[in-house]
Amino acid sequence: MRKFLTIDRWSLFHFSLLFIILIAAVMYSDSNHIWRLQFQHFVFDSFNKMHPRERSGDVVIVDIDEKSLAQHGQWPWSRDILADLTIRLSNMGVKSIVYDGVFAEEDRTSPKRFIEYLEEKQNLKVEEIFPENIPDFDEAFAKAIKESGVVVTGFTYGNLDRAVHEPLDKRRLLMRPDTKETFLQNAPYFKGAAVNLSIFSKAAAGNGSFMARPDFDGVMRRTGMVFSDGKTLYPSLSLEAIRVAVLGRKGTIQLANTPLDKKKEIDTNYRIVLGDYIIPVEDDGKIYVYYRHFCSEQDATDKINYCVTHDYISALHILDDQFREKVEPLIKGKIVLIGTSAEGLKDLRNTAIAAYRPGVEVHANVIEQVLQDKYLKRPDITRHVEAFFIFAVGLFFITIAQFIGVLLSLVLCCTLISMAIFGAYLVYVDYGLLVDPAYPSLSVLGIFIVSTILSYIHAEHKRKRIRNAFGMYVAKDVIRDLERNPEHLKLGGENRELTVMFTDIRKFTSISEGMSPEELINVMNKFLTGMTDIVMRHEGTVDKYIGDAMMAFWNAPRDVENHAQKACRAALLMQGALNQINEVIYENGDNSDRKSPILLKAGIGINTGICAVGNMGSRQRFAYSALGDPVNLASRLEGLTKTYHTDILISKSTYEQTQDFAVLGVDLVRVTGKREPVEIYALLGDGERAEKSEFIELKKVHGEFMSLYRKAEFKKALRLLEKESLFKMQELAMMYEMYQMRLQNFIEKGTPDGWDGVYFSDKK
């Protein structure tokens, strides 16, 4: 709980940025930007493909197919054939006959048109040659339309030069003035129209528009049920087909607001009423087409009986008496649309469930879904639901996202998106509601991605801080090794040769007595900081700090070439750095009440040997460290620096790898915990100093002294020691004074029993 209640600057920034993105996503939720609509259309089309509308059997398409054209000639057919087709369909008892096309020109194949041509062009007296009653196919077709009483003709968009050709208004739309004004402004608009010859329009029971404008991607998803020229409203071809079929020639259509007492919780604001049928629409008068698959002869697997089991019937079968008994039961009492599927004549449309389908199928789908009372609705409330989903889910997500891991965030994000998609599909299937899961899901996904990026940046920042902080406790090489090999983060290690160093401040207790805790901590931090920098610059690993002491080692966790030499160089630099640290301490006022600066002195012991190195401790807590006898000896050597009054002591194993350094053999001692004597050496300088004549002379004299000492020739050793040349080395003066006292003691008390040149030390 504390984690959730703790708010730092980063958390506030994280939340604020995501909240701004969330608000922008909510405000953009009602946008009709093309990329947003592309995702929305893809989802809605996919739903329609997965769950198409069922076949009602109320609509049949009479197809002007290849067989019909082969039998009756090229399209357009002469109007006498169309008249025959109309009469036959009427006699079969269809509810309405819908022509998906415009007969805007006179039939030039009509005999009457031919006679007029002869009179005009050939200057012939036709009445002297032909009888008086010359057939007029246009009149015959108009007569068939009128006698049928169920024919619906159509009109469509026309060029502006045909603007004077206004569609015939059958005045079958009834509405209040305010409703009319709304639809006049918002319904699909046209300026010019391509219309039928007036004799056809007047004879027809209905006249409707089959104007169609697909979406930007060329797919017909919505179609208008009413159309406006700015002055008058006209019904669609589909609407007229239903009106004539359901209400008859004189039936009327009502456009109205949805009454509040009848309005459902999720409903449109307007409705179109045809008797018992109610079509939900918004103020643009459009509906979403709820598609199903129509099957023509080309689609059928059973070529012989396709007309029995599918939706298309060839016009040839209607016009041929031998098929009457078979065809009549299939179309009786149904709405018949006359269209074409023949190559070169197709009015092709891309639908939500299939591409390149005859345009007549769009009308057929609209008519069927109205008769089935199955609609795809997207009222305003669906947009509010989408916006609320984005806000509620997005707010929930951004509130908890930064407190949970990326994996859990991913699972949560995927769950929320899956719920949105599955929920949208359920309401589509059960209620025909078009709720867009795409944009809300993308919004949540976008918030997740931004949140993940921010979390990654924050984690990297924290990791860097932790790495830097952890690097103050553990060597950076150890950290890098653990980053590359996390499996190494367990108890265990390996045996390898290390060079181990121990440092300790001389007389730390007496120095600390005269200092405040703040001063003491400040002095220690400056000392250890300077020493640590030198160790790390020379590829060493700082193991631990023990009060005023420090332990470091070389050649782990990674290999360090010439590790003994690098440890010795670091030790020499550490001694030199102490002078600078003492000056800084004094100048910064840490010693303001003293007359002279605190002189920090450090003893350093170095040993090389095979150690156990790795993660050591308990399962609850462990550290990367080294153990073994060489480590203990390095610690003993650091303690012996006090006895021999030297700054740096190294073991023989270290000396063997640094013989080019300025090194003097100091003694052969037996330290606590070891049976075998240990040769110890004083490290005085690097190879450059070792080549100087003063050191070469010193090393020669010192060697003679140590030879006399180990042979128990104490008087000769004392006389050699008292020569002025040895005491000129200020850094070794106190060591030689120690030897002077030891020799005088041996001379006074006699040579120790069993003397072998080994001095026993109980210093730790």
pLDDT digits (tens, 9 = 90+) for 277-313: 999 998 999 999 999 988 765 555 554 444 445 688 8
Residue 466 has pLDDT above 90, yes or no: no
Q: Is 27 exposed, middle or buried (0-12, 13-18, 19+ CB in 10 A)?
A: exposed
CATH number at 489-686: 3.30.70.1230
Tell me how many helices (H) and strands (E) the chain has. Answer: 28, 27
Q: How many of the other CB atoms lie within 10 Å of CB of 271? A: 19
pLDDT given for residue 119 in this prediction: 56
Q: Where in the chain is the domain with CATH 3.30.70.1230?
A: 489-686
pLDDT given for residue 308 in this prediction: 44
Peptide bond connecting 76 to the previous residue in cis, omega within 30 degrees of 0? yes
- What is the pTM assigned to this prediction? 0.66
Cα separation of 327 and 89, whole Å? 10
Cα 217 → chain centroid? 27
Residue 1 has pLDDT above 50, yes or no: no
- If you average pLDDT over residues 487-497, what whole number do you get? 71
pLDDT given for residue 634 in this prediction: 94
Spatial contact of 330 and 60, defined as CB atoms under 8 Å apart = yes
pLDDT given for residue 661 in this prediction: 94
- If you average pLDDT over residues 306-335, what whole number do you get? 82
Beta strands 348-351 and 219-220, pairing class: parallel
Percent of the chain with pLDDT over 70: 83
Residue 76 has pLDDT above 90, yes or no: no
Cα separation of 503 and 641, whole Å? 10
Cα separation of 500 and 478, whole Å? 17
Average pLDDT for the chain: 83
pLDDT given for residue 562 in this prediction: 93
- Give whole-number Cα distances, 168 to 88, 199, 206, 337, 409, in Å: 26, 11, 9, 20, 62
Residue 455 has pLDDT above 70, yes or no: yes
- If you average pLDDT over residues 60-70, what whole number do you get? 86
- If you average pLDDT over residues 386-404, what whole number do you get? 84
Q: Is 382 exposed, middle or buried (0-12, 13-18, 19+ CB in 10 A)?
A: middle
Least confident of 280-289, 544-553, 626-635: 544-553
Q: Which of 338-352, 453-467, 667-681 has the highest mean pLDDT?
A: 667-681
Cα separation of 644 and 683, whole Å? 12
Residue 596 has pLDDT above 60, yes or no: no
Question: What's at 539, amino acid-wise?
Answer: E
Least confident of 98-102, 637-641, 693-697: 693-697
Cα separation of 312 and 335, whole Å? 12
pLDDT given for residue 372 in this prediction: 94
- If you average pLDDT over residues 198-218, what whole number do you get? 92
